[in-house]
Amino acid sequence: MMLKPFFRKIARGPGLGIGHAAAAAIAVILTISAGDARAQTVPPSLAPSPSPVATPAFAAPVAADRGLDIHPAAARASLPDLAFSDGAGRPLHLSDYRGKVVVLNLWATWCGPCVKEMPALESLAAQTAGGAIAVLTLSQDRGGEAPVRAFYERAGLTHLPILLDPQMKTGRALGLRGLPTTLVIDALGREAARHEGMLDWDSPAVLALLTALADEAGDSLPL
């Protein structure tokens, strides 16, 4: 974060002495530091793994927490048939889940906000298992399966699938701006919502939206 222009603006402000400027600058730094600390606080068992390599521009952690907005059917765009693999290396495609509402979460073990929302995604997956909603957590870790499986075991995740995209092709295809990013995809493979940052995925409000989207599928799918 660049603070020099802010310092210059303070120093040039009318009637503001050096002492006041310094105090204001220190207050800004303390505020930023406190905000960052709050955003990255996670339980010890869910601590993010260090990134073994430099991350691409789109993969900066996003800590925003806004509500989930479902687009009207007429405003939904079709998505490409995204390709990825499971923990055993078997190839999978987004089209394999056609007919279900898909909650596609792109995340990484080194991303603090991603790690922090995993329990909510695990809970959502447990509540919707075997039904019309599929919760997919697609790792963008370049280390592949090993760090993801280690994290799952450490965090006690049993309802979320291990899905891998170590070359981050999915993130680039979707134009991601940061992690975590979650897409809600309707039964016809169209983007119904995109949420950047953390969300309480197992809240009654979110579950109601997803259930309504799944109910809509009965009227949308071709016979």
151-172 per-position pLDDT tens digit: 999 999 999 999 999 999 999 9
15-70 per-position pLDDT tens digit: 444 344 444 443 333 333 333 333 344 455 566 655 444 444 455 555 444 689 99
The 3 state secondary structure assigned to 191-214 is EEEEEECCCCCCCHHHHHHHHHHH
Burial (CB count <10 Å: 0-12, 13-18, 19+), residue 166: middle
Set out the domains of the chain in order of their start, with CATH numbers.
4-41 (no CATH), 48-220 (3.40.30.10)
Q: What is the pTM for the complete model shown? A: 0.73
